Amino acid sequence: MSIQKYAIFREVVDTGSFSLAGERLGISQSAVSHSVTSLEKEYKVKLLARSRSGIQLTDSGQRILQYIEKILYLEEKMNQELAEIRGLELGTLTIGTVTPLTSEWLPGIMKRFHEQFPSIQVNIREGTSQEIVDWVENGEVDIGFTYSLKERGRIDRLLLTHEPFYLLMHEEKQGDDLFRLMKESPFIMPTSYREMILKQKAFKPTVLLELSDERAIIELVRNGLGISILPRMCLHNLPEEVNIMLIPHELIQLPVHLVSLLFSAMSPAAEKMSATISLWLNENYNIIMSTEEKLSFD
Give the pLDDT band of residue 210 (cuts 50, 70, 90). Answer: very high
- Select the highest-mean-pLDDT range: 74-83, 128-137, 166-175: 128-137
Q: pLDDT higher for 68 or 293?
A: 68
The DSSP bridge partners found for residue 87 are none
In this structure, the dihedral spanned by the alpha carbons of residues 35, 39, 40 and 43, taken in order and rounded to 10 degrees, is: 170
Domains and CATH numbers, the chain: 1-87 (1.10.10.10), 161-255+291-295 (3.40.190.290)
The whole-angstrom separation of Cα 97 and Cα 106 is 9
Give the pLDDT band of residue 149 (cuts 50, 70, 90). Answer: low
**SS3 of 44, please?**
coil
- Which pLDDT value is given to residue 297? 34
- Which pLDDT value is given to residue 276? 92
What would the pLDDT profile of 39-50 be if each residue is shown by its tens digit? 888 889 999 988
Regarding pTM above 0.85, the answer is no
Q: pLDDT higher for 138 or 254?
A: 254
Give the pLDDT band of residue 295 (cuts 50, 70, 90). Answer: very low
Query: Closest Cα to residue 160, out of 270, 288, 254?
Result: 254
The whole-angstrom separation of Cα 194 and Cα 214 is 13
Mean pLDDT of the chain: 84
Q: What value, to the nearest 5°, has the Cα angle with vertex 39 and ends 33 and 41?
A: 100
- Cβ pair 120, 98 in contact under 8 A: no
